[in-house]
Structure 1
């Protein structure tokens, strides 16, 4: 039997068919093809900081390698790192988080997988806002659950509110999965909105998973963690965004004390531990020198936002609510002076081919009016953002 005929007889698990392609990566591939053809493409598509880990963090990684501290850690993570994260919560938000409750994970994605493995059963429904990060619904389906996408308008800051919980909770609903600030919208839940939503879930005996990976990149106000509002909430965080360590694959969870043994058992069996070298490097993130760098970079992201949002509005993109975190703008294209304004996927491809600016259509992020929206990422240099706006202006006749 040939290898080809063998391949045709292999059947993948049914869950694979429920996972749609990650369309942002399709846009990345199309942009790469144009670059190889010699085009100057400005990427405003991928949600990855253009900054990388500071030297103090890189040096800590090298020291770990040369020092031979590269073997497995405890499944819950290095005790020193868990303590450092606890101290960071105390210093930045005045929260007293027992290091025992902190679970170090192989990125926020691994944290979300662990949370869904612990809490989502076959047939359980999990509410999440539409639009939201596409992988969240796939984490739920991977463990037999059913993601319920709840349309959230700009009046809701594109977030899940208590009224959504009241309206959409059924006998099959097990909990909610939200992000604040959010990808793709860059909007946070207000403290009152978050408090009321968590209270509505708690009243129904459900779980709440709150993704806070962009909370370090918050502008205009002091962020409020869900940990300050509900002792039973599970939060997800990461070293990828604020700490600029995307490829290092390191994140963490904060879980209720009673669930620590559950998460430890799952981590032991599913991941063994997070990358050891990355854990040792991350300890340096909490040094004053590194924190000064991260704060300067946060301010630079805010400078980019403050330029980009008014510029997009001037071009005819609808941005009804100012994004207050992360590095995304979720923009309505229906008022643009362009023949493809009713089809964000076709529009995005046209702008890539004609203006050489890569953005992401709304298809990835849900089913509530995706054709009307695109996502801009401003995780690229300020001067390149200015050039992108100039190119779009020429293309749109503004």
Structure 2
């Protein structure tokens, strides 16, 4: 039987290696191994009881049918109030678009803004799916090497230098996956000015902004209504599997995004939307803040611990729950080859990490990503296991 040919874009989208490593780790667990998972970016915390109770109440009351494509109005209003209460930003709820996770939000943004063969600038390293969203829209992601000197983020000077005749805009994340670093507000303002001068778009993924540790987070929305931001209930709100996110878009874009959402997704999960309303209750927000401080405690332990093990941490992460660690000087035969090193650490120490190859092509063999979104005691045990493997314990 001759199978029909697949679309050419499929070949341009690489596997998500973190998920492949997860499969390998689960196979070891099924064989009886104890594995400490520090690979997938998923909080070990789950939705608080009030959120679960709100979901049950929605189910029992029959709120399980389609909602409006833009999301239920009470949730859009609650998100707008959240910006007002946390950042003193007045956002019209009509600009808020509730989506089936941040992934759907990014897909909508790329579908709306990227034409065939348009180039979109982004830092290298960055979240791998970002470049694949651009590819899926028939655009071309342009990865710009951004190292420790740039905090692993794009700068205004880099955007100016790399803007070409086919460049359409920039796709940023602050704080970033895999580095946990943010773009400093003044630099972001300069960057946005460069994009505006060229008539381009700026999309900023802010899904980790609630998990900021060094300073009060500042949304890119403070820079004007022409910015598109992406956010999510997955990270700060601990609702990864509920698949719920949102966009804030310019007022003129709302009808376009609504049309696309109607056709591509119909709507986000009704149950998840009604449950998420409970996220904004004062008692629930207090739980999230306690958990944020726990993530910071873990970061404050793991960064010096990694340095003691021989890893380089050239930029201390100020948000999210990741460390992007330089492995070139670690006391192991696989140092300088993060793919081989993470496999050795998984099989010989029982700790799951992610090699840099997932996040770009700028020195990926030199870096690995560690997620500290797991219990403090497990992080301590992981450090002990790696220290024993390296002979430093």
Q: TM-score, normalised by structure 1?
A: 0.98
In structure 1, C-alpha distance between the alignment counterparts of 2:164 and 2:42, rounded to whole Å: 37
Q: Secondary structure at the match of 1:375?
A: strand
| Counterpart-to-counterpart distance in 2, 1:151 and 1:320 | 15
Determine the structure 2 residue equivalent to 1:60. Answer: 54
- Is it true that 1:21 corresponds to 2:4 in the alignment? no
1:287, distance to aligned residue in structure 2 (A):
0.3
Is structure 2 residue 280 aligned with structure 1 residue 286?
yes
The question of 1:379 aligning with 2:370 is answered no
Q: What are the Cα deviations for residues 222-260 of structure 1, in whole angstroms up to 9, with x where unaligned?
A: 001000113200000000000000000000000000111
Distance 1:349 1:154 in 2: 25
CA contact (8 A) 1:177 1:210 kept: yes
Q: Distance in 2 between matches of 1:334 and 1:66?
A: 55
Corresponding position of 2:324: 330
Per-residue CA deviations over 1:318-373 (Å, capped at 9, x if unaligned) read: 10111000000000000111111121101100011111111000000000000000
Confirm or deny that 1:69 pairs with 2:63.
yes
The corresponding residue for 2:116 is 122
For 2:72 and 2:275, how far apart are their aligned partners in 1? 11
Query: Matched residues in 1 for 2:24 and 2:252: separation?
Result: 47
Give the secondary structure class of the aligned counterpart of 1:32.
helix
SS at match of 2:288: helix
Superposed counterparts of 1:71-90, under 5 Å? 71-90=65-84
User: What's the counterpart of residue 209 of structure 1?
Assistant: 203
Pairwise CA distance, 1:397: 1.2
* 1:10 Cα deviation after fit: 2.4
Return the alpha-carbon distance in structure 2 between the equivalents of residues 276 and 115 of structure 1: 22
Distance (whole Å) between structure 2 residues aligned to residue 277 and residue 9 of structure 1? 39
Give the match's secondary structure for 1:175.
strand
Unaligned runs of at least 5 residues, structure 2: none
Residues 1:297 and 2:291 are matched in the alignment: yes
Secondary structure at 2:204 match in 1: strand
Which segment is superposed worse, 334-343 or 311-320?
Answer: 334-343
Match of 2:347 among 345, 349, 353: 353
C-alpha contact (below 8 Å) 2:63/2:271 kept by paired residues: yes
Q: After TM superposition, which residue ranges in structure 1, 4 or more long, deviate above 4 angstroms?
A: none
Answer yes or no: is the 8 Å Cα contact 2:329–2:336 preserved in 1.
no
Query: In structure 2, what is the Cα distance between the partners aligned to 1:337 and 1:53?
Result: 40
Q: Distance in 2 between matches of 1:301 and 1:96?
A: 29
Aligned residue pair count: 392
Q: What is the distance in 2 between the residues matched to 1:126 and 1:51?
A: 34
Match of 2:382 in 1: 388
1:106 matched to 2:100: yes
**Which of residues 224, 229, 235 in structure 2 aligns to 1:230?**
224
State the distance in 1 between where 2:293 and 2:189 align. Answer: 28
Is the counterpart of residue 363 in structure 1 residue 376 in structure 2? no
Residues in 2 aligned to 1:378 and 1:121: alpha-carbon distance in whole angstroms: 38
What's the TM-score once normalised by structure 2's chain length? 0.99
Q: Distance between the aligned counterparts of 1:185 and 1:249, measured in 2?
A: 23
- Of the three residues 229, 247, 265, the one matched with 2:259 is 265
Q: Which residue of 1 aligns with 2:128?
A: 134
Please give the alpha-carbon distance, in whole angstroms, between the structure 2 residues aligned to 1:206 and 1:194. 15
Q: Structure 2: how far apart are the matches of 1:171 and 1:220?
A: 38
What secondary structure sits across from 2:120 in the alignment? strand
CA distance in 2, matches of 1:215, 1:305: 16
- Deviation of 1:285 after TM superposition, in Å, equals 0.2
Tell me if the contact between 1:198 and 1:230 (Cα under 8 Å) persists in the aligned partners: no
1:276-314 Cα deviation digits (max 9, x unpaired)? 000000000000111010000000000000000000011
3-state SS of paired residue (1:237): strand
Find out whether 1:173 has 2:167 as its counterpart. yes
